[in-house]
Amino acid sequence: MIPVRGFEDQTVAVLGMGRSGLATARALEAGGTHVVVWDDTPQTRERAEAEGFACRDLRDPTAFEDVACLVVSPGIPHLYPQPNAAVAAALEAGVPVDNDIGLFFRSLATDDWDGFDRAPRVVAVTGSNGKSTTSALIDHVLRAAGRECQLAGNIGRGALDIDPPGDGGVVVLELSSYQTELARALTPDVAVFTNLTPDHLDRHAGMGGYFAAKRRLFAEGGPDRAVIGVDEIEGRYMAGQLAEGRADDRVIRVASGCKLTGPGWLVYARKGFLTEWRKGRQVASIDLRDIKGLPGAHNHQNACSAFGALRALGLGPREIETGLRSFEGLPHRSQLVGERGGVRFVNDSKATNVDAALQALRAFPRIRWVCGGLMKDGGLAGLHPALDHVAKAYVIGREPEVFARDLPGTEAVLCGDMATAVAQAAAEAEPGDVVLLAPAAASFDQYDNFEARGADFIAQVRAVLG
């Protein structure tokens, strides 16, 4: 646990008693803070009270008279589409609003660091797609190289729930836009921006607000090194804003599918090879094509982002390559579940938006595609360029016919449930095919979350494979 500093003998309110909220309350208490909590769900409040935390209805305008700060869990809106009632009450009372990431950065360094030979370092990873895999890759390679590392934030443990890092230790934080937009302190040593595609637009009042939330990690965080994906215009803009000139190697530009040129620090993947250039010359190359844990161009982009961050931490190219080759992938993200008769079964349940599903479809030449669910705004037009990879679609969800209508020229069967879709896809698959779950939709019409959907896919595949 990272005890929160700066609020000793003061009262801090915590809104939202999920995983991060409970960890935040414990860390505040460990730092000598008086903690009051609130959650709109009665059962969650009861769980917090069972741990000894005092509940206070923070929707009451008078609830903040003695409160120094309100700490808000990531899923709770504080501005758009409209503030939660408790946040609105805090703002009306003039109480500062923060989150666990802001508390983490203000509390991480301690007097013990004065005795370290090498100060601990923090790598923060954000972006629309690939940030979980990139974060996990950095953590995996560091551990494979014998370095102390902890993975936290939007993946793994809550940021305040980790152990204080030791001499030379590294903390890797995956940060969503919900976390970067509100944190009052953002000071990573290395910051990574993977890419930007439309998502969470209601929460950020449009694409500009979404990009601004991501950009805070770099503009306000002032990292020593910034690893920036420049495949989209937003990344190219941000790299230009951060660099003093083309040769400024504080910015590491990353791309997938095209060659980067110039005198700066560049990492790109092209035709399955990762290449590093620095000061106008090539310094490293890695063949990614046979690394099973990193299939497809989108994972090659993740590998480039991780490579850039690891090089910024001082690891050598061969050391990084060794770690990449032992990476098995994350659950629900291009996860190989099984194989039979030349047919592979891949779980990419995390592909909840069109862009993530597009990258998954492009990763394999011939696909039996399990798809569908709660469609997001904008439809499926963004998937059309990759539909030639789809031999047949097996559509799940409560309204599969609506999903199927937006797949022109693609043979689709309305399965409704996962068991039917997997059984039929497996029965019809031929050697060389990939039975791929990449829903391109949210899971909430049938499942609690994408993990539950992926777990159902895995269970049905195992039933088919025996």
Q: Residue ranges for the binding site? A: 127-133
Residue 361's contacts (CB-CB under 8 Å, 6 or more residues apart) are 367, 369, 383, 386, 387, 389, 390, 436, 438
Q: Which two tokens stand for residue 427?
A: 């029965």
Query: What whole-number distance in Å separates Cα of residue 102 and Cα of residue 100?
Result: 5
Which residues does residue 70 pair with via DSSP β-bridges, in sequence order? 13, 97
| Torsion angle in degrees (nearest 10) through CA of 290, 291, 293, 295 | -50
Question: From CA 65, how far away is CA 419, in angstroms rounded?
Answer: 54
* The amino acid at 197: T
Contact call for residues 419 and 461 (beta carbons, < 8 A): no
Cα-trace Rg, the chain: 23
- Give yes or no for a contact between 31 and 5, defined as CB atoms under 8 angstroms apart: yes
CB 317 within 8 A of CB 276: yes
Of 175, 65, 56, nearest to 127 by C-alpha is 175
Peptide bond into 81 cis (omega under 30): yes
Kindly give the pairing relationship between strand 281-287 and strand 273-278. Answer: antiparallel
Distance CA 369, CA 421 (A): 9
The residue whose two tokens read 């049905």 is 460
List residues forming the annotated binding site for ATP. 127-133
CB atoms within 10 A of CB 79: 17
